[in-house]
Amino acid sequence: MVIIRARDIMEPITHTLSPESTLKEAVNEMRVATRKPGWYGVKGMIVIDQEGRVAGMVAIKDILNALMPSYMSHCAVGEFAWPGMFEEMARKVAHKKVSEIMSTKVTSVTPDTPVMECARLIVKNNLWRLPVIDADRRPAGMVYVRDLHYAIVKALFDGEEGEE
């Protein structure tokens, strides 16, 4: 029996961010990084340093957190929200640097990591994506939850006719 590894299910990384990228640039890169027809961008990206090594990750949740006023962490949004608030706050943080909000603690795997370990890390750490990084800390690919879904489908139905 063949052991499925991260390299077998990962998707290539075609877009990355720099720590010096602005949040506006990051949102645009996420928007244009769509890998599949009908999808509207990705929700997280790898941040690489000048040497091409992984420096961190930025997810749309990090960007949403950056545009939330600090006083909203302890109250209901409706108490202090106004029409157009979301758009106004987004414009206010548009020029912040990715380095200010990125996660520097990145859970990752190598191309040789068994897919079962990828699944364990995604579940244990409540992740939606898992960077695949080579020995030099350069990005090799990304394993998404959907890639694990496809692997499960293949394991359960490979060679069978699909049921509707």
Is residue 94 assigned to a domain?
yes
164 is a domain residue: no
**Which two structure tokens, joined as six digits, stand for 163?**
């049921």
Structure pTM? 0.84
Distance, in Å, from the CA atom of 82 to the CA atom of 90, rounded to the nearest integer, reads: 14
Q: Does residue 1 lie in a domain region?
A: no
pLDDT digits (tens, 9 = 90+) for 26-78: 999 998 886 566 666 788 999 999 999 999 999 999 999 999 877 666 666 66
**Domain region containing 150:** 6-157
Neighbouring C-alpha atoms within 13 Å toward the C-beta of 97:
6
Number of independent structural domains in the chain: 1
Q: Is residue 162 part of a domain?
A: no
Domain presence at residue 85: yes
- CATH number of the CATH domain containing 93: 3.10.580.10
